[in-house]
C-alpha cells in the first residue's frame, strides 16, 4: 500500500472533508481567537517594511500578520518580497527557515479550504479554515494557516501570483540587486583557461584581448581549439570555442555538425594527459526514418577521436559510443529523424545503451520522493499523515504494515534507481578510459541533459582536479553551462526569447501538468506558472542538475577523502541555483547569457560561495575535514557493488526530518576538532610571532649593551691614558722645582713661595688661564683642580729680580701678593719661560710617559 500523496490529502469534497473533520490535526495548531484579537489585517505595503532580514535591493510587497506555519505550529508574520516568501516568528521577527523560501524555488502554490464540523446543536454555524500550500523545488511542502474573515490569504496569494514567475528575464531579483560585491569575470576566459589546461598549456592565461582577436586557437600533437563557432552560427547551444582533432579542418567541422541533432557535433570534453584517450560528447545522429543516412565527415571526425596507442604495434584505440537512452527510446527517435549509430559505420567501435530515462520520468520521480518525505517526516504539512510526528509511532515496535508501506513508497518513487543508473553509467565510462585507454563518445537525444550528467560525472571520477573547489567550478562551467544545458527551461525561468514587453503572462511553468491536482485545490484556486504556448514547452521542467549533484553527494559519501568540498557546499550551491539570486545559471546557453550581458548585470554565485569560505578558511562548513589529496590522486573507479545510493540526508531530509539531516556525528566531531586545532594553530603562530619580536628586542638590547661595554672600555682606556699623561705632567712640573697638588673640585690654584716666610699667592685659573700656563685639558677627561706650589731658588728679598718685579708689575695686589704667571714679570724668568714653553708643547702634542723618562735619563 503506497503512502497517500501530500497534495491529495487536502480535499474540498464532502466525503474528504468529513474524514478530516474531528481529527484535530490543524485545529490544534491554530488558536484563531487569540490571533484574531492580537493582530491587524494584512496590508499590501507594510508600515514596517524595513525588516533587518532583507537583502540588498529586496523590497516588501505584501505582508500578513497572525499567520500560522502548520508544519511546526508556529505563529508569525508572512511577507512577500521581490525575492522571497519570508516567515518571521511572533514578536522576535526572527526568520523561520522552513517557512522562508525564494520565489524562484517555489514550484507551485494553491489555496485550500477545510470545513470544520460543529457540534450537533450548532450545525448551522459550520466554519472553515483557510490555508495556503507552497511546494518547493528543494523538497519542501509547507502550509500556512490564515485567520478567518480576513483578506490576508488573498493578499499573499495575489502577491505571489504577481511575483512568482516574471514574464521578462530582467525582472528577476538578480538584475535588481546587480553584481553588488560579488562581481563576475567573463566565463569565456575561464573556459579557455580550462581548455589550455587540458591541452597541456596550463602556463598560458586567457584574456578578453585574446578572445577578441581570435588568438586562442592553440593546439598540441593531437587536438586543437577551434573558433569556427565563435559567432554561434554553427551551433547556438555550443560554446564559442571547441576542442576537435587537429587533423580535422574547420570546413569538416561545419559539415559534421549537419549530421547531428541541433548541430551538436562530437567534440572533446576531456583528454587523458598520458594515454591520449578522450571523453567526447555530442547529440544523436540524424540517421533518418530508414536508418540508412550516413555522413563521411562525421565518421571521419569520430574515427579521429581514436588516436593511435603509444605502443610499438601502433594499434588504434577502441571507441565506445555510449547512448544514455534506453534502446527502445533511441529507436523511437527514428520517427523524428534521430536514432543511434551503427557500429559497422564507425571503425573499431561498440555501441552501448545505458537505459537512463528521460526528463519527464525524473520530474515525476522527484515529486513522488517529495511526497513520501512529507508524509513520513517529523515536520509534515499534514500531521494526520505523519507516522513519526509527535512521537506517536516508532520503527522499533509500531505498525509493521505502515513501515512496509513507507519503504515500498520510497522504492516506488524510483529516484534512487535513477541516481544509480547515472552513477553506474559514469563509472563504466571512467573505467573504459582509465583501464583500457579507450575513447568514449557520449550522447542522448539532444546531448544536453543525460549527456551532461554522464560526461561531467565521468570527468569527476577521472580527474582529481575536478574534485577541488576551483576544479568543480571549472567542470560545471564547461560541461553544464558552456555546452548548453537549458537551465531556464529545466528550472522554469524566463528565457531570452520569452522576455518581451508584453503583459505579464508568467511565461514559465512548473511540472504541475504531470501531477493531478487535488479537488480542493482545483476548486479553491491554484497556481502553477504557465508557459506561452505548446504542451511540449509546458513540461520541460526537470531536476536534471539537482540529480547530478545528488550523484556527486553519493561519491562524496563513498570517497570521503577524495573531495575538497563537503556536502554542505553542495546544498548551498543547489540553493543558490534554485533561488536565482545570481545570474550564472540563467538562460539556456552561453550565447543567450552573452546576449543579455549576465556576467556584467548580475552577481556571481562562485564569488559569493568563495566569500563565505574566506571568513573561516579551512574550518568552514564548506570544506571537507577529511580531504586528503594524496590519498586519491588518481581516478576513482567504484565497483558496481558500491553503487548503491541512499537518500542524501543534508538535502532530502532537511525539511521533513531536520534532526536526521545534520551531518554525521563523526564529521561534526572532526569539524569541531579542526576548529579547535585551527585556534591552537593561530595561538601557536601568535606565540611564535611574539617570541620572534622578543628575540629581536633582546638582540637589540644585547647590541646596545655591547656598545655600552665598548664605550665603557674606551672611556677606561682614555682614563688610564689621561692618568698616565697627568702623572707625566706632574713629574715634568716637579722637575722644574714646582710642587703640584690635585683636588677633585674647582679651578686650578697656584701657590708661589718666594721667601723663607711662605707667602702664599693664589690665583684662580679659568680654562683659558690653564692653557696659558701650559696645563693640557683633553676634552675626553674630567676637570681636575691642580694646586702648584713653586719654590724659588733665590729666597733673598733683596734680589734685584724681586725689586724689579715690585716696581714694574702692574698686576700686583695691594697686600703685596703676586698673581704669577699672569703678570708676565721677570721674577723667576728663566724657570717661567721654560715651564711655559713646555706647556705650549704639551697643548699641541700628546705626552707619553716614556718621553719624560728619556729626558730624565738624559739629565
Counting beta carbons within 10 angstroms of the beta carbon of residue 54, is it exposed (0 to 12), middle (13 to 18) or buried (19 or more)?
A: middle
Q: φ, ψ for residue 243 (rounded to 5)?
A: -100, 120
Type and span of the H or E element at 243:
strand 242-245
Could you count the other beta carbons within 10 Å of the beta carbon of residue 510? 26
- Full strand arrangement of the beta sheet holding 764-765: 738-743, 785-791, 748-753, 764-765
**Does 444 qualify as catalytic in the annotation?**
yes
Which grid coordinates belong to 175? 538584475
Q: Is 751 helix (H, G, I), strand (E, B) or coil?
A: strand
Separation of alpha carbons 376 and 407, rounded Å: 10
Instruction: Write out the three cell numbers for 653.
Output: 531530509
If DSSP codes are grouped into helix, strand and coil, which group holds residue 706?
helix
Which grid coordinates belong to 652? 532530502
The three grid cell numbers given for residue 177, joined into one nine-digit string: 540587486
Strand bridging mode 439-443 / 319-323: parallel
**β partners of residue 111:** 132
Q: Are 125 and 118 in contact (CB under 8 A)?
A: yes
Angle at 319 between CA 315 and CA 323, to 5 degrees: 175
- Give the whole-angstrom CA distance, residue 417 versus residue 408: 13
User: What is the number of helices (H) and of strands (E) in the chain?
Assistant: 28, 19
Nearest to 555 by CA among 543, 542, 541, 565: 565
Kindly write down the DSSP assignment for every residue of 435-491, as one continuous string: HS--EEEEE-SSSSSHHHHHHHHHHHHH-GGGGSHHHHHHHHIIIIIITT--HHHHH
- Which of 177, 444, 551, 818 is the catalytic position? 444
Rounded to 5 degrees, φ, ψ at 532 are -55, -55
∠ CA 210-216-218, rounded to 5° = 150
- Interior angle at CA 826, CA 821 and CA 828, nearest 5: 75
Q: Is 701 helix (H, G, I), strand (E, B) or coil?
A: helix
CA distance 512 to 528: 6
- In 3D, which of 387, 410, 411 has the Cα closest to residue 398? 387
Give catalytic residues, as residue numbers: 444
Amino acid at each position: 500500500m503506497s503512502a497517500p500523496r501530500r497534495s491529495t490529502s487536502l480535499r474540498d469534497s464532502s466525503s474528504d472533508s468529513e474524514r478530516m473533520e474531528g481529527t484535530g490535526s490543524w485545529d490544534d495548531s491554530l488558536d484563531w481567537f487569540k490571533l484574531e484579537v492580537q493582530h491587524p489585517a494584512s496590508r499590501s505595503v507594510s508600515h514596517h517594511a524595513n525588516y533587518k532580514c532583507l537583502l540588498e535591493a529586496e523590497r516588501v510587497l505584501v505582508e500578513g500578520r497572525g499567520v500560522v506555519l502548520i508544519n511546526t505550529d508556529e505563529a508569525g508574520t508572512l511577507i512577500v518580497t521581490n525575492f522571497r516568501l519570508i516567515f518571521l516568528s511572533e514578536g522576535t521577527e526572527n526568520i523561520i527557515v522552513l517557512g522562508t523560501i525564494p520565489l524562484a524555488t517555489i514550484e507551485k502554490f494553491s489555496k485550500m479550504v477545510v470545513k470544520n464540523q460543529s457540534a450537533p446543536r450548532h450545525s448551522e454555524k459550520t466554519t472553515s479554515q483557510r490555508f495556503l500550500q507552497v511546494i518547493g523545488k528543494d523538497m519542501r511542502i509547507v502550509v500556512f494557516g490564515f485567520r478567518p474573515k480576513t483578506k490576508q490569504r488573498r493578499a499573499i496569494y495575489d502577491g505571489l501570483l504577481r511575483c512568482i514567475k516574471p514574464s521578462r528575464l530582467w525582472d528577476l531579483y538578480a538584475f535588481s540587486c546587480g553584481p553588488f560585491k560579488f562581481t563576475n569575470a567573463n566565463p569565456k576566459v575561464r573556459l579557455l583557461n580550462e581548455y589550455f589546461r587540458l591541452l597541456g598549456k596550463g602556463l598560458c592565461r586567457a584574456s578578453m584581448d585574446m578572445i577578441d582577436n581570435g588568438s586562442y586557437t592553440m593546439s598540441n600533437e593531437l587536438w586543437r581549439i577551434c573558433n569556427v563557432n565563435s559567432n554561434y552560427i554553427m551551433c547556438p547551444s555550443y560554446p564559442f570555442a571547441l576542442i576537435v582533432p587537429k587533423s580535422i579542418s574547420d570546413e569538416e567541422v561545419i559539415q559534421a555538425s549537419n549530421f547531428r541533432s541541433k548541430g551538436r557535433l562530437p567534440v572533446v570534453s576531456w583528454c587523458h594527459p598520458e594515454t591520449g584517450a578522450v571523453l567526447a560528447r555530442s547529440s544523436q545522429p540524424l540517421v533518418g526514418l530508414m536508418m540508412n543516412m550516413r555522413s563521411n565527415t562525421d565518421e571521419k571526425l569520430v574515427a579521429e577521436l581514436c588516436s593511435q596507442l603509444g605502443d610499438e604495434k601502433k594499434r588504434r584505440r577502441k571507441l565506445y559510443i555510449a547512448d544514455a537512452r534506453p534502446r527502445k527510446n533511441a529507436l523511437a527517435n527514428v520517427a523524428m529523424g534521430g536514432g543511434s549509430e551503427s557500429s559497422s559505420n564507425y571503425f573499431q567501435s561498440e555501441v552501448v545503451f545505458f537505459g537512463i530515462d528521460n526528463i519527464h520520468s525524473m520530474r515525476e520521480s522527484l515529486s513522488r520522493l517529495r511526497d513520501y518525505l512529507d508524509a513520513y517526516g517529523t515536520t509534515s504539512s499534514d500531521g494526520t499523515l505523519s507516522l513519526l510526528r509527535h512521537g506517536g509511532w516508532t520503527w522499533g515496535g509500531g505498525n509493521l504494515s505502515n513501515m512496509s508501506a513507507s519503504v515500498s513508497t520510497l522504492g516506488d518513487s524510483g529516484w534512487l534507481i535513477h541516481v544509480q543508473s547515472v552513477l553506474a553509467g559514469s563509472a563504466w565510462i571512467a573505467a573504459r578510459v582509465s583501464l583500457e585507454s579507450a575513447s568514449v563518445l557520449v550522447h542522448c537525444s539532444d546531448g544536453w541533459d543525460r549527456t551532461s550528467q554522464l560526461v561531467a560525472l565521468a570527468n569527476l571520477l577521472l580527474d582529481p582536479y575536478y574534485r577541488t573547489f576551483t576544479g568543480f567550478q571549472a567542470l560545471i562551467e564547461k560541461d553544464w553551462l558552456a555546452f548548453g544545458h537549458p537551465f531556464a527551461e529545466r528550472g522554469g525561468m524566463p528565457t531570452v526569447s520569452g522576455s518581451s514587453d508584453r503583459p505579464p503572462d508568467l511565461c514559465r511553468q512548473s511540472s504541475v501538468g504531470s501531477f493531478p491536482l487535488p479537488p480542493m485545490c482545483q476548486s479553491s484556486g491554484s497556481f502553477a506558472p504557465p508557459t506561452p504556448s505548446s504542451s511540449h514547452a509546458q513540461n520541460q521542467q526537470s531536476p536534471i542538475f539537482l540529480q547530478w549533484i545528488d550523484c556527486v553527494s553519493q561519491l562524496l559519501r563513498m570517497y570521503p577523502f577524495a573531495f575538497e568540498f563537503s556536502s554542505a557546499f553542495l546544498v548551498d550551491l543547489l540553493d543558490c541555483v534554485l533561488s536565482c539570486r545570481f545570474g550564472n545559471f540563467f538562460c539556456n546557453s552561453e550565447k543567450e547569457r552573452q546576449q543579455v550581458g549576465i556576467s556584467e548585470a548580475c552577481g556571481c554565485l562562485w564569488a559569493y560561495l568563495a566569500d563565505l569560505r574566506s571568513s573561516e578558511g579551512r574550518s568552514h562548513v564548506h570544506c571537507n575535514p577529511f580531504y586528503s589529496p594524496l590519498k586519491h590522486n588518481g581516478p576513482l573507479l567504484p565497483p558496481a557493488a558500491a553503487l548503491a545510493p541512499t537518500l542524501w540526508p543534508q538535502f532530502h531530509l532537511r525539511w521533513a526530518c531536520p534532526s536526521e539531516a545534520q551531518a554525521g556525528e563523526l564529521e561534526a566531531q572532526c569539524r569541531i576538532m579542526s576548529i579547535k586545532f585551527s585556534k591552537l594553530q593561530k595561538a601557536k603562530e601568535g606565540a611564535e610571532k611574539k617570541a620572534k619580536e622578543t628575540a629581536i628586542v633582546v638582540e637589540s638590547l644585547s647590541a646596545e649593551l655591547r656598545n655600552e661595554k665598548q664605550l665603557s672600555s674606551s672611556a677606561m682606556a682614555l682614563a688610564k691614558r689621561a692618568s698616565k699623561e697627568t702623572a707625566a705632567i706632574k713629574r715634568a712640573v716637579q722637575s722644574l722645582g714646582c710642587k703640584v697638588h690635585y683636588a677633585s673640585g674647582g679651578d686650578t690654584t697656584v701657590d708661589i713661595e718666594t721667601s723663607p716666610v711662605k707667602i702664599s699667592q693664589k690665583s684662580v685659573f679659568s680654562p683659558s688661564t690653564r692653557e696659558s700656563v701650559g696645563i693640557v685639558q683633553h676634552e675626553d677627561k674630567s676637570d681636575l683642580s691642580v694646586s702648584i706650589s713653586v719654590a724659588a731658588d733665590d729666597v733673598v728679598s733683596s734680589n734685584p729680580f724681586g725689586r724689579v718685579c715690585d716696581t714694574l708689575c702692574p698686576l700686583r695686589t695691594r697686600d703685596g701678593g703676586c698673581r704669577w704667571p699672569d703678570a708676565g714679570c721677570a721674577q723667576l724668568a728663566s724657570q717661567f719661560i721654560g715651564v711655559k714653553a713646555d706647556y705650549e708643547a704639551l697643548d699641541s702634542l700628546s705626552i707619553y710617559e716614556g718621553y719624560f723618562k728619556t729626558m730624565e735619563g738624559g739629565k
